[in-house]
Chains A and B, each alone.
Chain A
């Protein structure tokens, strides 16, 4: 079963717009991470947010975490065509920190 589920499954926007992806999960977590995957490539780590954090920034990325709602969001500001990729959230469960569970991903397409 998937611990994290991303929403929407697919998102298409124009270059320069902001892209928001959401992730919901089911159990208590130690941390939540976001990864990016370009077509035909491996996953690349973007950002990690711990369970005691509510918001984190990294460049054009902003991640929020609401543990009461068991949800997270990833915001990419001023999107570029090069941001086109699949984005996955992954959760490390409390007490099972070695088992990182991935969602099924959001396919983001940024149109030039």
Chain B
């Protein structure tokens, strides 16, 4: 019962460094998402992918890039990390968008940029 698996769990980066957060789901879902969660602000959508081969910007896409590698995997890349990107990042998936389907979340990746 793996569900949504994301790595790494914790990461400390220096300003300007790059890194990729990996996410994989084993539920054969079409849609995948990346959110960030900051204290007192709830979750904000960074990017999403409605199906393999497609990606779209969410509410806060600046400073990030994504790749939907295949149906299972959806990665988030920070090309040049900034302290403002210190946050908890959640990957999620659903069978077909938000129109009535449950979204399943990973356990989160804690990223600190110093």
Interface residues of A (CB under 8 A from B): 2, 4, 30-31, 33, 40-45, 48, 50, 88, 90, 92, 97-105
Are A100 and B41 touching (Cβ within 8 A)? no
Assembled-state Cα–Cα distance A48/B100 (Å): 7
* A92-B98 in contact given A98-B56, A103-B42 (Cβ < 8 Å): yes
Say which residue of B44, B50, B56, B105 sits within 8 Å of A43 (CB atoms). B105
Interface residues of B (CB under 8 A from A): 4, 31, 33, 35, 40-45, 48, 50, 56, 58-59, 90, 92, 97-100, 102-108
Are A98 and B108 touching (Cβ within 8 A)? no
Are B104 and A98 touching (Cβ within 8 A)? no
State the main secondary structure of chain A at its contact with B: strand
Assembled-state Cα–Cα distance A43/B100 (Å): 17
Are B41 and A99 touching (Cβ within 8 A)? no
Chain A contacts of B98 at CB under 8 A?
A: 30-31, 92, 97-100
Say which residue of B4, B42, B90, B97 sits within 8 Å of A98 (CB atoms). B97
Assembled-state Cα–Cα distance A103/B104 (Å): 17
**Chain A: which residue is nearest B33 at the CB level?**
A100
Chain B contacts of A31 at CB under 8 A?
A: 98-100
Chain A contacts of B100 at CB under 8 A?
A: 30-31, 48, 50
10 smallest CB-CB distances across A and B, nearest first, come from A42-B105, A102-B42, A92-B98, A102-B43, A104-B42, A97-B99, A45-B102, A43-B105, A100-B98, A98-B97
Given A43-B103, A48-B102, A104-B40, output 13 extra A-B contacts at Cβ < 8 Å. Answer: A30-B100, A31-B99, A31-B100, A40-B108, A41-B107, A42-B107, A43-B92, A43-B105, A44-B105, A98-B48, A98-B56, A100-B33, A100-B103
Most-contacted residue by chain B among A30, A43, A45, A105 (CB, 10 A) = A43
Say which residue of B31, B59, B99 sits within 8 Å of A92 (CB atoms). B99
Assembled-state Cα–Cα distance A71/B4 (Å): 31
Are B99 and A88 touching (Cβ within 8 A)? no
* A42-B108 in contact given A48-B102, A98-B97 (Cβ < 8 Å): yes
